A and B are shown apart, each in its own frame.
Chain A
Amino acid sequence: MAHSHKPEKEKPVGPSSKLVSLVAQFDDPDSLVAACDRARREGYQKMDAYSPFPVHGIDDAIGIRRTRLPFFVLAIAFCGLAFALFLQYYVNSTDESPLFPGYKFFISGKPLGVPGVPANIPVTFEIIVLSSAFATFFGMWILNGLPRFANPLHRIPRFRRATNDRFFLVLEAEDEKFNESRSRQQLEEWGATAIEECHLDLTDHEIPKNFKMAGIVLLFALLLPPALIYRAAGMTNRNPRLHVVPDMDWQDKFKTQTVGPNFSNDELVPDYLFGDPSAMRHPVAGTIARGDATGQDEFHLGYKPGSEPAPAHGGPNANTQDPAVQDPAAQAAEPEWLTSFPGGVQVSEATIARGKQRFEIYCTPCHGFDGNGGGLTNQHAQALAVQGKANWTAVKSLHDPAVKSQAVGRIFDTITNGRATMGPYQNQIPAADRWAIVMYVKALQQTGIETTGATAEASSATEAPAGN
């Protein structure tokens, strides 16, 4: 158990070391308590007793006041309660919040918000216990001034028995009543079996050199992150932001309006997954989207059933993908378009409002908000066409006299099946909404907006055959 170097190092007493306390050893707890009691009566205040186990009655003998730890724990427990309830409310009963949106999620019939609190009790209880336990554990060590990695008491070999089978009373030199020779005498009087001096080594306070160097290096290293942040402020960077935890943000799937995967290495001979570049697929032949059963009636056709002229007509079944197929002769033959809205479509402001909203989603990219063909797609494509970078047929103005005069059924058919370069929308827009759009278009045409010259001419020139 002998430690060779330490005791020798402590021996020299002079200006290099300072007496901090007298350490008196007692052989049993009762004499320790008695000595503590005597010391307190003598007026000593800065003293402490050391024992291998908590000695009964020592608190009163030294005059230790009851710790405030329980109140601290109670306060933390209340914080835990508030935090737990807030967390669960925020996370499962709210949808929108500025920082991290919650997930309002109705499940197993358990209500949200305050009525749902019973289901939150178990977690609340656990969080209270956890936070209180942490408060107790860390609060106790903090109040005790531990961890403490240097204590002159540990340098006294005899004091090692404080954790084994001996009991110590330590009188601190800082105490007003402390007088080395008198205190020593008193301790002997009170039954100490051995008395040691505890010295604080004043020479040993220098920080080792390599510690200093490491500290300086660390200090400079600490400056690096703020420096980098300062440098990065206001900088532009082409790289995407660092994504620390990807979770499910990127998935192997095709998004709408994107090109499907090309498996070919040869650019000229593409090998698309679906045979064509589009990642979106039309519904499988013979299937209908739920709620969009296309009956063969006025509501779904836009004309009186049975009035279609011939199989070759350019109406409902025209191949709109390829304008070259459009046969002017066939176009001449038209079914009997509905001139008023069919049954099931209510002419009302609400329907027009619905039509406006749908129009703004599906039609404005090309036709523009005013229906004059000023949509962004059209603008951009025309600009490219002027530079010779694209082949584009200008979008038709809805205020073109040729369109204005069209029957509602005819416009419905255009939306449903497309016309010339315009694609069909029957798969995107349910029939009722298509009628609502027609109603809105008709309303738009009544506003007196004039066809803009160039666009109107260009469109009427290219689309002339399509007009009636």
Chain B
Amino acid sequence: MASTIDMSLDNTFEDPSRRAPLVLGGMDYGDVTDNVAAIWEADRPPKTWYVVFTIALVLLGILGACLFHLIMKGTGVWGNNNPVYWGFPIVNFVFWVGIGHAGTLISAILFLFRQNWRTSINRAAEAMTIFAVVCAGLFPGVHIGRLWVFYWLFPVPTEHLAMWPNFRSPLLWDVFAVGTYATVSLLFWYMGMVPDIATFRDRTKTKLGKFVYSLLSLGWTGSARNWHRYEMAYTILAALATPLVLSVHTIVSFDFAVSQLPGWHTTIFPPYFVAGAIFSGFAMVVTLMVPCRSLFKLERLITIRHLENMNKIIMATGLMVGTAYGIEFFIAWYGGVKYEGFAFWNRAFGNYWWAYWIMVSCNVFIPQLFWIKWFRTNLVAMVIICIFVNIGMWFERFVITMSLSRDFLPSSWAMFRPTEIDILMLIGSFGLFFTLFTLFCRFLPVIAISEVKNVIPHDHHDDEHGDHSGAEVAAAH
């Protein structure tokens, strides 16, 4: 394993005659394993890990207390009112589900498009998907009021009541969409991880580790026959997850679009929501990966080129979202429906004008900085921009939901004001997310080891061990 990391290496060049390396520092197969396993093999994780984990646990505790309070008192502890029946819970739900989508996009869609650069980031992104969906599921889950009859969401036969869910309601579609999405993401994530867990199994020194990783790796040996079926299954799952991820946010947008409310009842919602989801999800991946790679010394696997690629996607989806904002206004004017027109005028200049302009600034204006290469390749700059994007995307959902506050009948207009519980639950959901993510970083393979080995140029890799730069390795082919 190379002892020093040559950070001066630049693999962000655009030269069609040379293929940019995806792994730097001339790592061979063993080096990749060592590099990724080092996080987990270390007796103690870095101090920063403890700090993040402690903060996350505190926030998780706050979330738990809020949930307890909510269940004991009822949903009246939220600021939801009439006419804003959906306040923070739906805003947070859509926000978190959207975050999750980038993980599936990286693992499934980029896989089908043979984008090999995904291999270094897909595992962490998939983990992010699952933890984000957990956070997302929480909000509608507790919004049902009587938690103890949560199973009424599903078509469960009752003993004496002819009681079934209404299969023509978008809210029920949501149950199936998010439920399927969580399940398929979990299967995909776990299946992808099995060979790497087997690697951990074969390296662990503790009895408990041996037992747990042996169970989780299901006796994986890396047999060619197994790999054959495994790769087929992986391709099928990717092909299933691709339309699934598009359908999930489409159905989430149906929650709004199928209703008759001006500002919601538009056909642009599904594509606009999906683009927004990928936009915010990629921003979250960058926000997570930049500190992760520094903390766990993964600079040679998650290279600047990887981050730059993601930033380009953020810029592209950001432009799509910006276009959608514009089209909405155009249609509101061109459609000539006065309620629609009012809804949009009200968004930009009405009671929640500040939320609208936060949204536009964060989602449309700030990502334009990514046109400049310096912003795309500077770690601090890209994290700051990505945090802005996530703030903007949270406000996008807030702005959409707040269309409720001024609907057809002026006499029923009312302002929505979040309560302390609303705000604490939003903050607490980040605690849940980061608790899960920090545990994942510590105990599971953060990078898809077996997939990265596949993108290492494998001819004569031993000769080039640590001596040549990655760019030269690539140039040699």
Contact = CB atoms under 8 A, between A and B. Distances in A.
A121 B245 CA distance: 16
A67 B159 contact: no
Contact of B229 (A1, A67, A100, A126): A67
Contacts of A36: 224
Most buried by B among A27, A88, A137, A139: A137
Interface in B204-250: 205, 214, 218-233, 236-237, 240-241, 243-244, 247
B167 A91 contact: yes
B177 interface: yes
Contacts of A120: 167-168
A163 B30 CA distance: 10
**Dominant secondary structure at the B interface:** helix
Interface in A32-69: 36, 48-55, 58-59, 62, 64, 67, 69
A126 B177 contact: yes
B458 interface: yes
B63 to A, nearest CB: 28
A295 interface: no
A91 B155 contact: yes
Contact of B164 (A73, A92, A110, A160): A92
Interface residues of A, number: 76
B438 interface: no
Most buried by A among B168, B183, B226: B168
A116 B168 contact: yes
Interface stretch (B191-199, B353-361, B429-437): B191-199
A447 B259 CA distance: 62
A120 B214 CA distance: 43
B343 interface: no
Contacts of A289: none
A144 B226 contact: yes
B476 interface: no
A134 B244 CA distance: 14
Interface in A146-175: 146-151, 153-154, 160-165
A451 to B, nearest CB: 45
A146 B222 CA distance: 12
A151 B232 contact: no
Interface in A55-100: 55, 58-59, 62, 64, 67, 69-70, 73, 87-88, 91-92, 95, 99-100
A51 B160 contact: no
Contacts of A67: 228-229, 232
Contacts of B461: 28
Interface in B168-202: 168-170, 172-173, 176-177, 179-180, 183-184, 187-188, 191, 195, 198-199, 201-202
B162 interface: yes
A188 B243 CA distance: 49
A33 to B, nearest CB: 10
Given A51-B224, A136-B237, A163-B199, A130 B183 contact: yes
B219 A146 contact: yes
A255 to B, nearest CB: 15
Contact of B230 (A103, A129, A144, A244): A144
Given A88-B167, A126-B176, A50 B240 contact: no
Interface of B: 28-30, 33, 149, 155, 157-170, 172-173, 176-177, 179-180, 183-184, 187-188, 191, 195, 198-199, 201-203, 205, 214, 218-233, 236-237, 240-241, 243-244, 247, 251, 254, 449-451, 453-454, 458-459, 461-462
5 interchain residue pairs of minimum CB distance:
A140-B233, A165-B29, A147-B218, A148-B219, A160-B202
Interface of A: 1, 27-30, 36, 48-55, 58-59, 62, 64, 67, 69-70, 73, 87-88, 91-92, 95, 99-103, 105, 107-108, 110, 116, 119-120, 122-123, 125-127, 129-130, 132-134, 136-137, 139-141, 143-144, 146-151, 153-154, 160-165, 243-245, 247-249
